[in-house]
Structure 1
Amino acid sequence: MFQVSYVVEAKLLNAEDNFPPLKRPLSAFINTNTIFYGYHKNEKLVAVMEIKADAQSTHIQSLVVDPAFFRKGIAGKLLSFLFENFNSPLFTVETGAANDPAIALYERFGFKLVKKWMTEFGIEKVAFEKTNPPLLQTPPVC
């Protein structure tokens, strides 16, 4: 799933020869402390979201969709799931600066651009944050 989606992103970023996510070995997926959530369509895994969460923040490590299922709202459903199930004060995500579809998705969900930089691999990246207001406790009914 990751490799198929990342091939498309590498082309978007003009980084087919030097895109680190495409070089991520299977052992890195197995030996990680991140959490994976999948989205199934007709019993087929078509999208995966990888997150790293603690009490202060939730970071979207990756969000990939099978290219055959692009533009069907699946990434948005995974983000909605995230916001409904994680009450973090801060959500963060990074992507390539030329990944217009991902940037549009994150902005649509309220993420704000906070940083732009050039990586050692020659890929320009952007970082986004979304703050989540603390839940208001309802006063007890007397």
Structure 2
Amino acid sequence: MKIREVFQASYAVEAKLLNAEKNFPPLKRPLAGYIESDNSFYGYHEGVALAAVIEIKEADKLTHIQSLVVDPVFFRKGIASKLLSFLFENFDSEVFTVETGAANDPAIKLYERFDFVQVKKWMTEFGIEKVAFEKKSD
């Protein structure tokens, strides 16, 4: 499945950023984890290639970005920004939330550019420090 391939390629890079190559839970997600998910997946294509995917979980007036991944071949082309813009234009939520690794500077800078504010920081049971962000609708 193409979606899983993009997730695997992107998360391999993030695992290195977080020094978590040996135990990075997102890399262990089986294909069934995508197929059986109740979340919504939206892709961004460059030509015929699936370049990026955003995975969304909706609940009442809250939209959680479960994942936002870009194939490393397409890094630094503004694709993640385009997917976030798509999200804000198409989802009528009071609050948007997202989590990422505390050492994932590219993701943190992206979310801060879109006015997300850090609301929590913690150490996971896997030894990865994470941060949570939220953005309230204008």
TM-score, normalised to structure 2's length? 0.95
Distance apart, 1:55 and its partner CA:
2.1
Structure number, greater radius of gyration: 1
Q: 2:90 aligns with which of 85, 91, 101?
A: 85
Cα RMSD, aligned residues only: 0.6
Contact 2:61 2:92 in 1 (8 A): no
One-letter amino acid matched to 1:97: A
Give 1:59-138 correspondences, 5 Å limit: 59-133=64-138
Number of residue pairs aligned between Structure 1 and Structure 2: 133
Q: Give the % identical residues.
A: 74
Provide the C-alpha distance between the structure 1 equivalents of 2:62 and 2:8, rounded to a whole number of angstroms. 27
Aligned to 2:49: 44
Give the secondary-structure state (helix, strand or coil) at the position aligned to 1:15: coil
The ranges of structure 1 where at least 4 consecutive aligned residues each deviate by more than 3 angstroms after the TM superposition are none
Provide the C-alpha distance between the structure 2 equivalents of 1:38 and 1:78, rounded to a whole number of angstroms. 8
Bigger helix fraction: 2
1:10 pairs with 2:15 = yes
Give the secondary-structure state (helix, strand or coil) at the position aligned to 1:107: helix
Provide the C-alpha distance between the structure 1 equivalents of 2:61 and 2:94, rounded to a whole number of angstroms. 6
Provide the C-alpha distance between the structure 2 equivalents of 1:103 and 1:68, rounded to a whole number of angstroms. 20
TM-score, normalised to structure 1's length? 0.92
Structure 1 residues without counterparts, runs of 5 or longer: 134-142
One-letter amino acid matched to 1:7: A
Structure 2 residues without counterparts, runs of 5 or longer: 1-5
